[in-house]
Amino acid sequence: MEIHDIGRDITVLSDCLEVPGIGFIPANAFVLRSAEPVVVDTGLGLPDRNFLEALGSVLDPADVRWIWLTHPDRDHTGGLFDLLSAAPRARLVTTFLAVGIMSTERPVPIDRVFLLNPGQSLDVGDRSLRAFRPPLFDNPATVGFYDERSKVCFSSDCFGAPMPTAELAAGGDVGAVAPDDLRAAQLVWATVDSPWVHTVDVDKYLANVQPLRAMDAEVILSTHLPPAVGLTPRLIDMLTEAPGADPFVGPDQQALEQMLAGFEPAGRA
């Protein structure tokens, strides 16, 4: 896991996963060093990751006051319950639906939950975080937020893109990727993560994009994209193209067998 301090009281905890045939998918969590510190998502749940250790290099987990879960998919909740134990004063900011989803796997401490819906705001001492539903999402419990003080939009899965290398995926600046390559990768991600975008009423969809443009964010932080500074207009223009992008069709069994043919089974001499 790589640690990137991008200024504006924000640190990015960057990780990634390789998806054969697609690339390296960034998997970020974030620390907002507000008066009441906020951790946004908690990384991957793989056994070789130690989210608390990475977080501890940024601040003492016991000082965390809010854990904003953008949605309860496993690539966002890896360190959640460990962090709840290590941060006894922290409240879990999420939705009613997300609590229900998580409760099918493990009991959620309801007395630690703070339910927040899109359109509402959270006071974290020195600023107010305004919750919103991103235009693209893969989970109905998704809630991002905008921090007006830092001019940063935390967009959850929206704006994600596979990267060609692990170094770029866990890097601190998506500006290192050529604009045309980034646009193409983001459109691939949009069709993978939000396949419903091909079936929407385009005018209604574009109306949902407009509030993002009105935010005029200077930085976009996505779980699945390196930090994007000063690229907001271009990234939002990409969103408007998503309904017309080519649908994603994943490998079938024949393709899987062809891929496996190139690998020796573990333990074979």
Q: May I ask the CATH architecture of the domain 2-260?
A: 4-Layer Sandwich (3.60)
Residue 184 has pLDDT above 90, yes or no: yes
State the alpha helices, DSSP H only, in 23-163: 51-56, 80-86, 96-103
Residue 53, CA distances (Å) to 66, 89, 222, 259 in order: 18, 19, 22, 35
What is the pTM assigned to this prediction?
Answer: 0.94
| Per-residue pLDDT reduced to its tens digit, 123-144 | 999 999 999 999 999 999 999 9
Domain ranges of the chain: 2-260
| Per-residue pLDDT reduced to its tens digit, 70-101 | 999 999 999 999 999 999 999 999 999 999 99
| Per-residue pLDDT reduced to its tens digit, 3-19 | 999 999 999 999 999 99
